[in-house]
Amino acid sequence: MHVTPNLPIKRPFPLRDHLKKELRMPVFIQNDGNCAAFGEATWGAAKGARVAILLTLGTGIGSGVIIDGKIFDGAFGQAPELGHLPIDSRSKQMCGAGHHGCLESCISKEYIKKMVERRLGKRLPLLEVENMARAGNKKALALWQDVGGYLGLAIGSLLNIFNPEVVIIGGGISPAFDLFEEAIKKEAAKLSFPSMLKQMRLVKAHLGNEAGKLGAARLVFENIKH
């Protein structure tokens, strides 16, 4: 493990070797976002897609990229960190990794809660804010559309880089997906080629919290086979 900004580990730690020694069995380690994307590509929303991207919105912004049925994790196993795409250079908000103006610093679950408190005057559960928007509360609806706007800025860039068949939105705020879906497309259209946006499917994750477990299980079986 090299960097874990949302976990209390402040130095590189050989977790796989430690677990392998303690458990006395093969151990494979992969980022949870990559595992979730692998699960969705195998059994969920991205089944059959050559190029798929998953963004999970929770404590941080998790992500995974699947290309030709394989996890894309970069030259040194640390990719992708799509939550740290820069989208607002003027923002003073800082993510757990110490970056200003990245996607995670603007719409991780904690920052959405702060947005709720600032705009609606009190801290509310996100489910309640979702229900308010569905009931026609304009402030609540505008908040979700702003979330979609930030996502759209990131996804517009990702379209230009990866030209994916499908982009999947998962994580704790995905139940409100229909409230910000059009805002994503509107902002993405400002940055990406029209043909790329038209070809892409933008969908909510199908497997929920099971995606990461299923993807990790498939990863183990594939590694053991080899």
pLDDT value of position 16: 77
The residue type found at 226 is: H
Residue 83 domain-assigned (yes or no)? yes
Separation between Cα atoms, residue 97 and residue 90, nearest integer Å: 18
CATH of residue 69's domain is 3.30.420.40
Q: Please spell the DSSP secondary structure of 9-24, one letter per residue.
A: B-S---HHHHHHHHHT
- pLDDT of amino acid 90: 77
* Residue 4 counted as domain residue: no
Domain count, the chain: 1
Per-residue pLDDT tens digits for 98-152: 788 889 888 888 888 889 999 999 999 999 999 999 999 999 999 999 999 999 9
The residue whose two tokens read 């923002």 is 91
5 within a domain of the structure (yes/no): no
* Mean model confidence pLDDT for the chain: 89
pLDDT value at position 56? Answer: 92
Do the domain assignments include residue 146?
A: yes
Asked if residue 63 lies in contact with residue 33, where contact means CB atoms within 8 angstroms, the answer is: yes
Does residue 208 carry a pLDDT above 80? yes
Residue 138 pLDDT? 96
State the pLDDT at residue 64: 95
Determine the structural domain holding residue 49 and report its residue range. Answer: 31-225
For residue 125, being part of any structural domain is answered with: yes
Whether 6 is covered by a domain: the verdict is no
The string of pLDDT tens digits covering residues 36-92 is 999 999 999 999 999 999 999 888 899 999 999 999 998 888 889 898 988 887 777
Please check whether residue 12 lies inside any domain of the structure: no
- The answer on pLDDT for 219 being more than 90 is no
CA–CA separation, 22 and 9 (whole Å): 19
Query: What pLDDT, on the 0 to 100 scale, is given for residue 109?
Result: 84
Residue 6 predicted with pLDDT over 70: no
How far apart CA 174 and CA 40 sit, in angstroms, is 14
Examine residue 49 and state whether it is found in any structural domain, yes or no. Answer: yes
The confidence score (pLDDT) of residue 26 equals 81
| Average pLDDT score over residue span 202-219 | 92
Determine what percent of the chain is predicted with pLDDT higher than 90: 59
